[in-house]
Chains A and B, each alone.
Chain A
Amino acid sequence: QVQLVESGGGVVQPGRSLRLSCEASGFTFRNYGMHWVRQAPAKGLEWLAVIWNDGNNKYYADSVKGRLTISRDNARNTLYLEMNSLRAEDTAVYYCARDIRDSGLDGIFDFWGQGALVTVSS
């Protein structure tokens, strides 16, 4: 069965960096585009970034462009999110999610990880 497991969350000081990982199993990872979505405490969902299945194309939400970098290692079945210059408003649960489309990109999120909590605080 499809599984996505995030790791790397924690408490980080403002201005510092953090890298989240999302390990995938149960499907052919290299065939699917992958997304990051976050949810601030008691708030709604915010799409952050997408990376194509081959890693050659990436897109970001304007709100995080320049501070977040999405990447993947298809040999390790792992998705990453590098976050720099973190701010208090980046405090959220960060989810990785699979795009529904095999060998393409539809912008529909059919499987989600359990989430990684990032708290930005001094």
Chain B
Amino acid sequence: EIVLTQSPATLSLSPGERATLSCRASQSVSSYLAWYQQKPGQAPRLLIYDASNRATGIPARFSGSGSGTDFTLTISSLEPEDLAVYYCQQRGNWPPTFGQGTKVEIK
């Protein structure tokens, strides 16, 4: 089973700042990595799939990059509503697995 390690555990930034979240896989998952946003009390929402493809309706300030074992989710200019936990998930090797999450706090 592939282990995904996310860093940092918590990110505290001000509105308008750039957020960079990292996800590292224990072995290559090619480009088969997705990112989800989970706001407090809500279900997860798909943001990015296959490393860099934005899901339908996702704002352009969210972007993804990477391949192999190292991936990045970037929020170019933080909005107050981006307060959430962000999870990466791989589908390159069965079973699908998730990272432990990065909490984004807004100062």
Contacts and interface: CB of A to CB of B under 8 A. Distances in A.
B64 interface: no
Question: Interface residues of B: mostly helix, strand, loop or mixed?
Answer: loop
Contacts, number: 51
Given A44-B87, A44-B100, A45-B87, A108 B95 contact: no
Nearest to A105: B91
Contacts of B71: none
Contact of A107 (B1, B96, B100): B96
Interface string B67-107: 00000000000000000000101010011111111000000
Contact of A112 (B45, B94, B95, B96): B45
A95 interface: yes
Contacts of B46: 100, 108-111
B94 A59 contact: yes
Contacts of B44: 45, 95, 109, 112
B96 A114 contact: no
Interface in A36-50: 44-47
B55 interface: yes
B34 interface: yes
Interface of B: 1, 32, 34, 36, 42-46, 49-50, 55-56, 87, 89, 91, 94-101
Interface of A: 44-47, 59, 61-62, 95, 100, 106-115
